[in-house]
Structure 1
Amino acid sequence: MASSFAPQIRIPATYMRGGTSKGVFFRLQDLPEAARVPGRARDALLLRVIGSPDPYGKQIDGMGAATSSTSKTVILSKSERPGHDVDYLFGQVSIDQPFVDWSGNCGNLSAAVGPFAITNGLVDAIRVPRDGVAVVRIWQANIGKTIVAHVPMAGGAVQETGGFELDGVTFPAAEVQLEFMDPAAEEEGAGGAMFPTGRLVDELEVPGVGTLRATMINAGIPTVFVEAQAVGYTGTELQDAINGDARALAVFEAIRAHGALKMGLIGDIAEAAKRQHTPKVAFVAPPKDYTASSGKAVRGADIDLLVRALSMGKLHHAMMGTAAVAIGTAAAIPGTLVNLAAGGGERAAVRFGHPSGTLRVGAEARKSGGEWVVTKALMSRSARVLMEGWVRVPGDSF
């Protein structure tokens, strides 16, 4: 008797690490026709690829690895936008809920976009040198921003191996320099303002928590910064100190939700549950010594400040690339909580401590008409192809 079950289909895909994240990369043209446009079919397909929603929280039956850093998908296509090579769309897949969050970028995976685009024929060959550095102009479609990636080339191929070390990634690789142009995010309801409330520091009222000083910024990704000591922390915490504490996670989610409301990202507090990717919430503190998750000692004298950030409801194991852009941007503007934690004053770059070690991020800031303008944020990451071929899903799953 013929089976009534749909056979699996296979879709060309590449599994890549970018920065301290990894995800499944697709060319738009390779997706099944129904998934080439935004909507239910695309979301259902990506959920099935990653293995979500999974009430066990493990994503065993998919490509995800049960953390926000590894539950990610990317869709790339050749750009028809003047001055750009490739369009980059990022989908943050929920682990235990049936939704894909399209509201922001992934800064870490941004490092893998240029290498993938070159290797998969999405960048005109005339723009790619045989040796040296290829400059790939990326249109970040989630937030409508330009990212410029500087991708090393060797012998006509992307150079992936090298000596660049990135805390949070075990092995060294080739350095990919990223420029996030005009990083102040244009978020619906926020009027495209870097500081949507018009203030560098706000009094944020959070029922059940209290009134906290907060810097709320749209740069790289909308982010709510609070002071570590105000929420009972030192800024040296590692993942287990917070992710195993249900009360702490609830406090940070409340801060995030009320920050989203004050930033104009949502109209009602209930909407925050379906918008988990943005905004991020982070806490900052002046520099001090601590031991990173690898066991490596981080000296307070070697860093400018401490930052811990939450992603998709959990403390991140290192730092989201987009949040690093927010950190660099806020640090460059005197008077923000990030800037004050770093000692105040004007600065073009900061090195901050995160759970896995340290990261340096720069920003070009200037005053124009009495308002601060940040023209670009700069950061180095690395990227590597982990596996390529086809990903398989049941044909009736989307």
Structure 2
Amino acid sequence: MAHAPQISIPATYMRGGTSKGVFFRLQDLPPAARQPGPARDALLLRVIGSPDPYGKQTDGMGGATSSTSKTVILSRSTRPDHEVDYLFGQVSIDKPFVDWSGNCGNLSAAVGPFALTRGLIDAGRIPRNGIATVRIWQANIGKTIVAHVPITNGEVQETGDFELDGVTFPAAEVQLEFMDPADDGPDGGAMFPTGNVADDLDVPGIGILRATMINAGIPTIFINATDIGYTGTELQGAVNGDDKALAMFETIRSHGALRMGLIGDLAEAATRQHTPKVAFVASPADYVASSGKAVAARDIDLLVRALSMGKLHHAMMGTAAVAIGTAAAIPGTLVNLAAGGGDREAVRFGHPSGTLRVGAQASQEDGEWKVRKAIMSRSARILMEGAVRVPGSVLAPGL
């Protein structure tokens, strides 16, 4: 019996924010995978090691969590005033599909550094020392992200003293600007799809929940922690080991997605795991983060816990942080009310690993809320570079 040999594909394994994933240049992919479709999905599934009924991704690069089952494809941008096109694929752990419906805000921090080190940015645009500004076209959601990447001696600076809760070691700070995060996206463009900053969401088996459903950074459903029996200080173990709770959150997510117009019927939610997100909020309270760090109520504006790919996130998704910052800036949302209400341009919120500050500038135009940009800082680092190998049979005969 003939066996197809493995193929080698240039790749870089990177951490961005509190996530990590496998990064590719579009030009380095096998021809069959340079276009969207089954061949590309099959390749990325095999790279990450999915679907894995054991839930470990042992035979791939994935880490068996939503934060580590990720892929990125980058290329020089053909759009005016942009340097790089960025496509993100969230790989399911136990099912055979790649979700292309949203962005990863954490890995967005690694896009600029990757583009600068892998020849996707003209050398003349890279300062000897200082900050390289990289304008990124986020192809999944049709948005612009501006990354400010530190450069030392002509190379991307990766080490530094910037500390990010949820990441063990300090690194260099990368500031990100998410431009117009709630305008004219592929899911309809309305910041509040229902037309309201807060709604009553009727969830069968659970009841009527007050909810803020927002399209900003990533479609997100915010609910009050107390309405579902939580305090907002929970860590992963309090939720992820409770199958009944996880089923409840998925039911809320499915019905929220339907109410937001993201899906046409509830069955579609199962094939759209990446979006929308579900998060619960509460007023500030003291708690101990997963690292053992004490977080004092006086040091934060509110508490937020968010689920990603069916599990409570160990920190906070970058795109959900954009949604948090945006919602906090708009009076009457559940996020704004949990933070004390009123006008604000930034919040520091507590998450399972610690705290994070995010800012957003919101204003009303013709009766509708608009956000010009949301800002936050992350860090990024190359963990490994070289090539990944996958059995050639994954793409045959499309090679």
In structure 2, the residue matched to 1:206 is 203
Alignment of 1:120-199 (within 5 A): 120-184=118-182, 186-188=184-186, 190-199=187-196
Distance apart, 1:185 and its partner CA: 5.6
What are the superposed Cα offsets for residues 104-155 of structure 1, whole Å, 9 maximum, x if unpaired?
0000000000000000111122211111000000000000000000000000
Secondary structure in 1 matching 2:358: strand
TM-score between both structures, scaled by the size of structure 2: 0.98
In structure 2, the residue matched to 1:14 is 12
In structure 1, the residue matched to 2:352 is 355
- The amino acid across from 2:29 in the alignment is L
In structure 1, the residue matched to 2:38 is 40
Distance apart, 1:191 and its partner CA: 2.5
In structure 2, the residue matched to 1:313 is 310
In structure 2, the residue matched to 1:239 is 236
Secondary structure in 2 matching 1:138: strand
2: CA distance between counterparts of 1:91 and 1:39? 12
Assess if the C-alpha contact under 8 Å between 2:303 and 2:350 holds in 1. Answer: yes
Q: How much is the aligned-residue C-alpha RMSD, in angstroms?
A: 0.7
In structure 1, the residue matched to 2:89 is 91
TM-score between both structures, scaled by the size of structure 1: 0.98
Assess if the C-alpha contact under 8 Å between 1:261 and 1:267 holds in 2. Answer: yes
Count residues with an aligned counterpart: 395
2: CA distance between counterparts of 1:382 and 1:356? 16
Distance apart, 1:332 and its partner CA: 0.3
Assess if the C-alpha contact under 8 Å between 2:99 and 2:273 holds in 1. Answer: yes
In structure 1, the residue matched to 2:386 is 389
2: CA distance between counterparts of 1:109 and 1:66? 17
Secondary structure in 1 matching 2:73: strand
Secondary structure in 2 matching 1:92: strand
In structure 2, the residue matched to 1:327 is 324
Assess if the C-alpha contact under 8 Å between 1:186 and 1:193 holds in 2. Answer: yes
Runs of 5+ unmatched residues, structure 2: none
In structure 2, the residue matched to 1:294 is 291
Aligned structure 1 segments of 4 or more residues deviating by more than 2 angstroms: 185-188
- The amino acid across from 1:361 in the alignment is V
> CA 1:42–1:174 in structure 2 vs 1: closer, same or farther (change >3 Å)?
same
Assess if the C-alpha contact under 8 Å between 2:218 and 2:277 holds in 1. Answer: yes
1: CA distance between counterparts of 2:335 and 2:216? 13
Secondary structure in 1 matching 2:27: helix
In structure 2, the residue matched to 1:63 is 61
1: CA distance between counterparts of 2:49 and 2:370? 41
2: CA distance between counterparts of 1:119 and 1:130? 14
Assess if the C-alpha contact under 8 Å between 2:49 and 2:62 holds in 1. Answer: yes
1:283 aligns with 2:280: yes
In structure 2, the residue matched to 1:268 is 265
- The amino acid across from 1:299 in the alignment is A
2: CA distance between counterparts of 1:358 and 1:154? 29
Assess if the C-alpha contact under 8 Å between 1:185 and 1:221 holds in 2. Answer: no
Assess if the C-alpha contact under 8 Å between 2:143 and 2:185 holds in 1. Answer: no
Assess if the C-alpha contact under 8 Å between 1:285 and 1:305 holds in 2. Answer: yes
2: CA distance between counterparts of 1:30 and 1:201? 46
What are the superposed Cα offsets for residues 274-318 of structure 1, whole Å, 9 maximum, x if unpaired?
000000000000000000000110000000000000000000000
2: CA distance between counterparts of 1:187 and 1:68? 23
2: CA distance between counterparts of 1:52 and 1:166? 29
Secondary structure in 1 matching 2:394: coil
Distance apart, 1:397 and its partner CA: 1.1
Secondary structure in 1 matching 2:133: strand
2: CA distance between counterparts of 1:269 and 1:41? 28
Assess if the C-alpha contact under 8 Å between 2:213 and 2:219 holds in 1. Answer: yes
Distance apart, 1:18 and its partner CA: 0.1
Distance apart, 1:368 and its partner CA: 1.2
- The amino acid across from 1:152 in the alignment is P
Distance apart, 1:12 and its partner CA: 0.1
Runs of 5+ unmatched residues, structure 1: none
**Corresponding residue to 2:255 among 252, 255, 258:** 258
**Identity of counterpart residues, as a percentage?**
81
1: CA distance between counterparts of 2:122 and 2:78? 12
1:366 aligns with 2:355: no
Assess if the C-alpha contact under 8 Å between 2:286 and 2:296 holds in 1. Answer: yes
> CA 1:308–1:185 in structure 2 vs 1: closer, same or farther (change >3 Å)?
farther
- The amino acid across from 1:278 in the alignment is T
2: CA distance between counterparts of 1:241 and 1:81? 45
Secondary structure in 1 matching 2:393: coil
2: CA distance between counterparts of 1:367 and 1:142? 27
